Amino acid sequence: MTLNIDPARVKPRIRPIKAMKHMKVLLADNEATDQVFHIMEALSGNSLERDLRRFVKTDNGRARIEERRDLPELLDDHDALRKLPENSVGRAYLAFMEREGLTAAGLVEESEKWWSGHDRFEDDLEYYAERRRDTHDLFHVLTGYGRDQLGETSVLAFSYSQHGGFGAMFISFIGGRDLSKNSPRHARVMDAIWEGKRNGKLAKDIAAEHIPSLLEEPLEAARSRLNIHRPEAYLNALSILREHGYTGQLSVA
């Protein structure tokens, strides 16, 4: 497959100082989602293009790039999701998004804060970056990781194994270490991070899935087919942390 990548693109540079600046903001406010995009940009270099070239070597990957489906429109059609079977991925996704007060469009808005001031390219690379963004909350639903700090850092470690990009693993590791500082030793917080990394490597590529079909699939059947393992270390750590008053917030101001 011949990819459409705009020749005007400039290869991203690795900028660790910028990454640390934005990480401090994220540690102070875990709702500052736009900081994630800044950190990814600062640390991931050319990994997005490398991942896209890997992606289109598969039949599913090529199909996803060729169809260029608008995922936020699909995922925010809550009326349609509500009509799916109760045990389906789509219904689990709907319950997750409504419980957390989220929308796919909201994540787009957060990413637009990062895009502001950047050149835009309507090419395959930009679409692929958007697809990875738009499937993030589906990752939560399929993997079983929550939106608490430990869940977010664990799902990023899972994503790193699926797609690469040092920025994801950097946020995961720093977020995990931050939580560990004020956690009981027997919670073994970092075990959840390494488990997420392992589970992501074992699982099939979620971003390559035909999302309309995936939403209709029974949740447990989808997890089995995609080889997504139960996050035992995360669930164990979360249980211990909650016994000690953990609310899910980042601890560093």
Cα–Cα distance for residue pair 16/47, rounded to 1 Å = 15
| pLDDT at residue 253, as a whole number | 22
Type of residue numbered 122:
E
With a cut of 70, which residues of the chain have pLDDT below it? 114-115, 117, 247-253
| pLDDT at residue 122, as a whole number | 87
Cα–Cα distance for residue pair 234/250, rounded to 1 Å = 16
| pLDDT at residue 81, as a whole number | 98
| pLDDT at residue 32, as a whole number | 80
| pLDDT at residue 11, as a whole number | 83
Token duo for residue 84: 């799916």
Cα–Cα distance for residue pair 247/42, rounded to 1 Å = 30
- Which letter does DSSP use for residue 204 in this model? -
Q: How far apart are the first and last CA of the chain?
A: 47
| pLDDT at residue 252, as a whole number | 27
| pLDDT at residue 248, as a whole number | 60
| pLDDT at residue 45, as a whole number | 87
